[in-house]
Chains A and B, each alone.
Chain A
Amino acid sequence: EIVLTQSPGTLSLSPGERATLSCRASQSVSSTYLAWYQQKPGQAPSLLIYASSTRATGIPDRFTGSGSGTDFTLTISRLEPEDFAVYYCQQYDSSPQTFGQGTKVEIK
């Protein structure tokens, strides 16, 4: 099973600042099969990025995914108030598909 480790656990930032979230895999993941989700309190997760760097429908371009192999990054260029949430990475390269433990982006 591929273990995904996200860091940091919590990111305290102000609106307008840049957020950089990391997702490290225990073994290589094809960049085709790495996704990022956003989850707000009381809501289901929502797909942000798939295939490592492709934005899902309707996702603004301030969200950028990058990386390859075992190291992947989600960057939010300028935080908007609605971006404060928990973010999860997911690999769907091998079974069982797995999720990282999440990074919470909170208002400083």
Chain B
Amino acid sequence: EVQLVESGGGLVQPGGSLRLSCAASGFIFSDHYMDWVRQAPGKGLEWVGRSGNKANSYTTDYAASVKGRFTISRDNSKNSLYLQMNSLKIEDTAVYYCATRETLGRPFPNWGQGTMVTVSS
């Protein structure tokens, strides 16, 4: 059974940094694309970015709203995905979900439960 468990959320001041983690199990981690999707309070879903799989050399891609501030990385030995968030803005306040798919051109059949990030002074 695929399991994704996010952690690392919390309260941070504008301009601050936070690192989120996603622990994965139940599938071959290195073979899967891993994405981050966020949802601001009471709002819809916004794709944040993704890490490709081994065949793709783990290439990353980001939404324009976070490019240059957020960095996605993965540790395949720990089956873990990370989201380093720098220069945080109030509008980054959201629940952050990690999700997995086999490759590009596929939807997200598996999601974590999410971790809340609040950016506020």
Q: Are B109 and A92 in contact (CB under 8 A)?
A: no
Q: Are A35 and B45 in contact (CB under 8 A)?
A: no
A97 within 8 A of B: yes
Across-interface contacts of B97 in A (CB, < 8 A): 44-45
| Secondary structure class of chain A's binding surface, majority of residues | loop
User: Could you tell me the distance between the alpha carbons of A101 and B63 in the complex, rounded to whole angstroms?
Assistant: 17
B78 within 8 A of A: no
The stretch that binds A, out of B10-18, B69-77, B83-91, B110-118, is B110-118
Contact count A vs B, C-beta below 8 Å: 50
Tally of B interface residues using CB under 8 Å: 18
Q: Are A95 and B61 in contact (CB under 8 A)?
A: yes
What 0/1 pattern do residues 36 to 60 of A give for CB contact below 8 A with B? 0100000111110010000011000
What 0/1 pattern do residues 39 to 77 of B give for CB contact below 8 A with A? 000001111000000000000010110000000000000
Given contacts A44-B97, A45-B111, contact A101 B105 (CB under 8 A): no
A64 within 8 A of B: no
Task: Categorize the interface residue count of chain A.
Answer: 20 to 34
A31 within 8 A of B: no
A–B Cβ pairs within 8 angstroms, 29 of them = A33-B105, A37-B108, A43-B113, A44-B97, A44-B111, A44-B112, A44-B113, A45-B108, A45-B111, A47-B109, A50-B106, A50-B109, A56-B109, A88-B44, A88-B45, A90-B45, A92-B104, A92-B105, A92-B106, A92-B107, A95-B61, A96-B47, A96-B61, A96-B64, A97-B47, A99-B45, A99-B46, A102-B44, A102-B45
